Every structure is written in C-alpha cells, then in structure tokens.
Amino acid sequence: MTTLWLVRHGPTHERTMTGWRDVPADLSDRAALDRLSDYLPADALIVSSDLRRAITTADAIARNRLRLPDDRALREIDFGAWDGLHHTQVSARDPVLSRRFWEQPGDLAAPNGESWNDVTARVARAIDALIAAHAPAHLIVVAHMGVIMSQIPRATRQTAFAAMAHRIDPLGVTDMTLAADGWRIGRINHIA
C-alpha cells in the first residue's frame, strides 16, 4: 500500500496566473512549516516539482526524510500566454476560450500552454513512476494546486470540473492511498 501526501507549496502572494514562471514561496511562517512537517509521516520519501516555490517548501519540511530528485513532470499546469496575466486580462484577451478552459476542462489549452488532460496525464505518469520505484511507501509530493487537483479524480471518480472546485491552499495536504482495490481519498486540503 502506498500513500501519497500531496502538499501545495508555500504562498507566493502572486495575483496573476502562475504556472511555469519560477516565482519564490514565502516561507516566513516557520510555525506553519513545523506543524506541516510534524503532520506528515517521518519515514516518508519527499519529492518536489523543479520550480523554486516547490523546491524550497520541500526543503523546509524535509527534516530527516529522504529527499528524492526534483521532478519537472510535477510542475504546475503550463498557462502559456496567460502566465503572468491577471484573470481580468486573460478574460479580455481570450473571452470565450478562458471561460471554456475553466468550465469544460479537458483538451482546451491556453495559447502556447497545456490542457487539463495534458497536465493530468503528465502528473499521473510521474506519480506512477514514483510508486513503481518506491512502493510500498509514504510519498510526500510537494507541488502545485493544478497538480493536486488533477489527481483527485483518481480516487474520487469526480469529473475534472468537480475536482477543480476543491480549495487547495498553500501548505494544504491532500492524501490518497493506493491499495489492492484501487485509490482511496483521505483528507483534501488539510491544514496542519
């Protein structure tokens, strides 16, 4: 049995769409990081996206856990031309596409970006590879809101649209267990 502990990186304070832009996390709340680290299994392996906000968060909560190499496949969804734009700018630039992108997640992508189905498949391949290499184990995956939301349907059988409705806060933890009979969801967005 393998349990995933999907952790969203620390807050960035960005007010624009932030996908592959490499912005830092604010890790000044040491007490929150300590509570998070205390909540997670001490014997877990820890891996992160290769973006700075995830790397520094993973390093801040790692303690004596084995730190696996950062993984580019665990990056946030690539928002392409929308990355760095406020949602009002995105709506003005691409009014129909931007609305459909969120209301009908699937094969639609931002210009020069990636679709919901693309990010879901990319992340699932990375997580499946981690499980194959390290099962049974507790795996802490420090990544991004879109990464976490993309994996919730594996355990809940929810649609992508329903999964996107979940709140995923900075430093929130979503746990999922892979047992012989398939995936089970635990808590979504637990704040330690």
How would you write the chain as a 3-class SS string? CEEEEEEECCCCCCCCCCCCCCCCCCCCCHHHHHHHHHHCCCCCEEEEECCHHHHHHHHHHHCCCEECCCEHHHCCCCCHHHCCCCHHHHHHHCHHHHHHHHHCCCCCECCCCCEHHHHHHHHHHHHHHHHHHHCCCEEEEEECHHHHHHHHHHHHCCCHHHHCCCCCCCCCEEEEEEECCEEEECCCCECC
Please give the average per-residue pLDDT across 81-93, as a whole number. Answer: 97
Of 9, 114, 138, 144, the active-site residue reads 9
Please give the average per-residue pLDDT across 127-133, as a whole number. Answer: 96
Residue 190 covered by a domain: no
Per-residue model confidence (pLDDT) at position 2: 94
Residue 157 covered by a domain: yes
Domain count, the chain: 1
Residue 170 covered by a domain: yes
Per-residue model confidence (pLDDT) at position 112: 98
Q: How confident is the model at residue 140 (pLDDT cuts 50, 70, 90)?
A: very high
13 noted as active-site residue: no
Q: What are residue 6's DSSP bridge partners?
A: 141, 174
Per-residue model confidence (pLDDT) at position 80: 98
Tens digit of each residue's pLDDT (9 = 90 or more) over 52-68:
999 999 999 999 999 99
What mean pLDDT value characterizes the chain? 97
Residue 191 covered by a domain: no
Tens digit of each residue's pLDDT (9 = 90 or more) over 19-76:
999 999 999 999 999 999 999 999 999 999 999 999 999 999 999 999 999 999 999 9
Per-residue model confidence (pLDDT) at position 135: 87
Q: Is the pLDDT of residue 1 over 90?
A: no
Per-residue model confidence (pLDDT) at position 86: 97
Domain range enclosing 129? 2-185
134 noted as active-site residue: no
Per-residue model confidence (pLDDT) at position 142: 98
Residue 32 covered by a domain: yes
Q: What percent of the chain has pLDDT over 70?
A: 100
Q: Is the pLDDT of residue 191 over 90?
A: yes
The domain that contains 170 carries what CATH number? Answer: 3.40.50.1240
Per-residue model confidence (pLDDT) at position 10: 98
128 dihedral zone (left: phi>0; alpha: psi -120 to 50; beta):
alpha
Per-residue model confidence (pLDDT) at position 56: 98
Residue in this structure with the two tokens 């960005």, named with its chain if needed: 14
Residue 192 covered by a domain: no
Of 76, 114, 138, 144, the active-site residue reads 76
